[in-house]
Amino acid sequence: MNLQQCRYVQVVAEMGSFSQAAKKLYVTQPNLSSSIKDLEIELGVQLFVRSNTGTRLTEDGFDFLKYAKRIIGELDLLEERYHSQFKKSFTVASHHYDFLSLPLASIAQQFQDSHQEFQLIETTTKKILESVASFESDLGIIYLDEDNKHILERSLSNQDLTFTSLGDFPTQIFLRKGHPLANKKAIREEDLEGYSQVRFRQEKSGLNFDEDPLEVHDKQNIMYSNDRGTVMNLLCASNAYASGLGIINSFIKEQIILIPLKDSPRHTLGYVSHKSKKPSDISSAFIDKVRESLAEYGQNGGSHGI
């Protein structure tokens, strides 16, 4: 099987005719038919039903084309990558941090002449590491603490990744402004007993890749989400709480308050990069903007965040 055969299948399926497909591909119909027949023999399946009224995909043909289109699409993107007018992309994979939006917006403006696509992907710890390791993302943003440090450091090492600190931050408790605990200057863990907790969903990998600093208590009701907006909406609609670190600098600060957790251990926020990839100008500029945001809202332990 080769890429040319994949393109042949795609065009025949689009044209519904071997003769019309041959014209579009600038090949002879016998050569086209022979190439696809060889592919069917190699795969052990029939890809097309041929008749006097035209040609259509079989069920196996639809399944083959679905995967073939992915390969063709990736190759097309690779070819475009080296056209003279091509503009680059910049991608950050991160835990669910509100404060990254402004740095990304600033970078998008600063590098608009050389880059066209700017992505901030909020996802799970495991996927952040995989994304940076496979070069799908330029950077990853995560945090380390005593509970996850050894596991994450081992995962970083196994995938040739490095972690660079952006500062140490205490745990903050996130509550709606009308919450019964909202007037406290500091919250103890025992104050949270009886309240539901909102947490970000992680893969069940058997490893402690939790994004949320606080543990789940016995018999505690938990509401899970993989979306930051949903987490905030759940907090606003209930007396549940969430825990986190970082900075809130968007409109949600009008609805949510953050209260320090008393005697909280500190967590190290940082960025993940690939050891074999030299830092690009845009990656360095983005990290500089992130450091500015952290400094503006309280460096080495900002009082707002998730």
pLDDT digits (tens, 9 = 90+) for 104-159: 999 999 999 889 899 999 988 889 999 999 888 999 999 888 878 888 999 999 99
Instruction: Say which amino acid occupies 167.
Output: G
Residue ending a domain, among 81, 107, 122, is 81
pLDDT at residue number 301: 39
Is residue 113 assigned to a domain? Answer: yes
**CATH number of the domain encompassing residue 193:** 3.40.190.10
Q: Do 193 and 217 belong to one domain?
A: yes
Q: Do 273 and 154 belong to one domain?
A: yes
pLDDT at residue number 46: 94
Q: What is d(CA 34, CA 31) in angstroms, rounded to the nearest whole number?
A: 5
Residue 43 or 98, more confident:
43
Closest-CA residue to 130 (of 95, 98, 161):
161
Q: Do 185 and 257 belong to one domain?
A: yes
Residue 85 or 32, more confident:
32
Q: How confident is the model at residue 290 (pLDDT cuts 50, 70, 90)?
A: very high
For residue 182, the enclosing domain spans 169-266
Q: How confident is the model at residue 203 (pLDDT cuts 50, 70, 90)?
A: low
Q: Do 17 and 75 belong to one domain?
A: yes
Is residue 303 assigned to a domain? Answer: no
pLDDT at residue number 112: 92
Residue 146 or 212, more confident:
146
Kind plus residue range of the DSSP H or E element containing 92: strand 88-94
- Residues 227, 276 contacting (CB under 8 angstroms): no
Residue ending a domain, among 25, 55, 81, is 81
Q: How confident is the model at residue 160 (pLDDT cuts 50, 70, 90)?
A: very high
Closest-CA residue to 306 (of 110, 102, 94, 164):
94
* 89-103, 181-195, 212-226: range with lowest mean pLDDT: 212-226
Is residue 208 assigned to a domain? Answer: yes
pLDDT of residue 49 exceeding 50, the answer is yes
Q: Do 38 and 177 belong to one domain?
A: no
Contacts of 225 (CB under 8 A, 6+ apart): 198, 199, 200, 201, 231, 234
Q: Do 178 and 251 belong to one domain?
A: yes
pLDDT at residue number 11: 93
pLDDT of residue 306 exceeding 50, the answer is no
Q: Do 176 and 256 belong to one domain?
A: yes
Q: What is d(CA 25, CA 8) in angstroms, rounded to the nearest whole number?
A: 8
Is residue 247 assigned to a domain? Answer: yes
Question: Which tokens sit at 13?
Answer: 């399926």
Residue 194 or 83, more confident:
194
Give me the residue label for tokens 């503009």: 87
**CATH number of the domain encompassing residue 24:** 1.10.10.10
pLDDT of residue 299 exceeding 90, the answer is no
pLDDT at residue number 37: 94
Is residue 257 assigned to a domain? Answer: yes
Q: Do 122 and 107 belong to one domain?
A: yes
Is residue 289 assigned to a domain? Answer: yes
The CA-to-CA distance between both ends of the chain, in Å, stands at: 49
pLDDT of residue 231 exceeding 90, the answer is no
Is residue 304 assigned to a domain? Answer: no
Kind plus residue range of the DSSP H or E element containing 225: strand 222-225
Is residue 148 assigned to a domain? Answer: yes
> Most confidently modeled of 196-205, 212-221, 286-295?
286-295
User: SS3 of 9, please?
Assistant: helix
Q: Do 67 and 208 belong to one domain?
A: no
pLDDT of residue 85 exceeding 70, the answer is no
Q: Do 211 and 178 belong to one domain?
A: yes
Q: Do 184 and 256 belong to one domain?
A: yes
Q: What is the CA radius of gyration of the chain?
A: 26
pLDDT of residue 31 exceeding 90, the answer is yes
The 10 Å Cβ neighbour count of residue 120 is 17
Number of domains in the chain: 3
Residue ending a domain, among 57, 81, 105, is 81
Residue 207 or 278, more confident:
278
Q: Do 201 and 189 belong to one domain?
A: yes
